[in-house]
Amino acid sequence: MSPMPLLEIRNISKVYGSTTVLSDVTFTLERGETVAVIGQNGAGKSTFSKIVAGVVEPTEGEIYVDGEMVSLYPPRNALKHGIAFIPQELAYVPELTVAENVMLGRWPKKNGRVSHREMVRQTMEQAQHFGIQIDVEKKMSQLKLADKQLVEILKALSKRARIILLDEPTASLTDNESKNLFRMVGRLAREEDVGIIYVSHRMDEVFQFSDRVDVFRNGRHVASEPTRGSDHETLIYHMLGHKKENLDSIASRSNRGRKCVVELCNWSNNGIPTISNLNLSVHEGEIVGLFGVRGCGAETIAEGVVGLNTDISGELVFEGNTRLLFKSPREAQNAGIAYVPPDRKKQGLVLNLSVQTNTTLLVLRKMLNRLRMLDFRKERKLTQNLSARFNLKYQGLWQSVGELSGGNQQKVLLSSRLALAPKLLVLQEPTRGVDIGARLEIHRELRAIANEGTATLVVTSDIEEAIILCDRLMIMRDGQVMGELSGETKTQQEALRLASGGA
């Protein structure tokens, strides 16, 4: 290993007006090293990443690449110094092929015309060299998200990137897709001496795939530890500044004597995955989880309950009334069902509207006064109460939701559904892409909502969340319930065994 770090950041700070978002951060990256960067939302990870990527110019500090002091701003400078940034929102042209995207701006020519044959040849050669298996003649729009990420990495490597910065690369991937991605990234680090920095909220992958983990808190770089010598509790302590709360004791309560709020009777469909004669119930004050890998059928069940999927036969008993499935989300909502979708940005929030408007959007009719005009005082009071309940961090109720961190956006989404005062709350991936602090706050509030009597149905692919949060856990695979876990049987090992079809 060279005595000179591949990347060295010395005493970097970033100030916006009177607000310091990053303070005196020092960081190094060696050749062939994989470093995970973790921290709560608002800890400074995003600003740090944008400085490394050349998107944001630091207010103070120095940056060195191969021992030479450089300026990474703007992004073309970062790229010139071998730094490639792969954000969550991937940048590609959907209707162009993999090869055309990889070589974008550098299409080879022959006799004055673009040579697609040469473009394909060069891209295939690069893919084979770096061990990336992909059909380079397929359109990007035809690829799975995991393959699109591989294309972005291939594009970066084809531009001679020596440092790859990944922002939440596995937020929307399955476990197998995540493992494949990190397997390939690890090979790049070992065999090509590429330095890898990746921002993550997922503790399990941090321990599996990184050499070192660096922790940010309140705009400061507070810890840097070899992964092998650390543990979950230590990292959580660094992230929060205090020990993690234990929620285990308040889960796994009995539903005995509690009123059944919703019951699914003999649900079947002809789709994929195929659901056949499925039965499920959720009682007052109970949190029931549906756990399994993506495509197990849990999403189909949740969408059926809230009126998003009407291609299901069977009965739904809601509040003691037997009926066919709801025909639309509005019908389900009017009956007393609130739904938290898995993608807050595309399905749950209006990002350019304010915190207050997003919070009250579904209950605006209740905000009208006698003259049928919007009562701003009433609207503000409701928003303030719900924001306080979720410990929402924001500049003001007027701030647009798009300016908030992912965890705070999720809290606004949950607040807007809680404003409906639902009898049944249905959630898909309630803490996807949020930090450990926001995750704990959301879990605590979901338990408080259940304690107030709300029946809750949670779809999650996060095994730790499934075990900690849910009173009863239904394990799904290929559209079937493989088993029900509660109490002492509700363990990660048993849940994973059933979800994978193990004996």
Per-residue pLDDT at 274: 82
Nearest-angstrom CA–CA distance, 498 and 280: 17
Residue type, 157: L
In Å, what is the CA distance from 416 to each residue of 294, 413, 420? Answer: 26, 5, 7
Residue type, 394: Y
Give residue-wise pLDDT tens across range 176-196: 778 888 888 898 899 999 999
Are 21 and 43 contacting, i.e. CB atoms less than 8 angstroms apart?
no
| Matching CATH number, 245-336+422-503, of 3.40.50.300, 3.10.20.740, 3.30.420.40, 3.40.50.10330 | 3.40.50.300
- Single pTM value for the model: 0.65
Residue 249: predicted pLDDT: 43
| pLDDT for the residue 464 | 84
Q: CATH second-level architecture of 7-240?
A: 3-Layer(aba) Sandwich (3.40)
Alpha-carbon distance of 181 to 186, in angstroms, equals 9
Which regions in the chain score pLDDT beneath 70? 1-2, 41, 171-172, 174, 242-257, 501-503
107-152 pLDDT per residue, tens: 999 999 999 999 999 999 999 988 888 999 999 999 988 889 889 9
What pLDDT is recorded for position 246? 54
How far from the centroid of its chain's Cα atoms is residue 487's Cα?
28
CB 88 within 8 A of CB 168: yes
| CB atoms inside a 10 Å sphere around CB 218 | 14
Task: Supply the pLDDT for residue 130.
Answer: 86
Residue 172 and residue 161 in contact, taking contact as beta carbons nearer than 8 Å:
no
Secondary structure (3-state) at 293: coil
Q: What is residue 97's predicted lDDT score, i.e. its pLDDT?
A: 96
Numbered ranges of CATH 3.40.50.300 in the chain: 7-240, 245-336+422-503
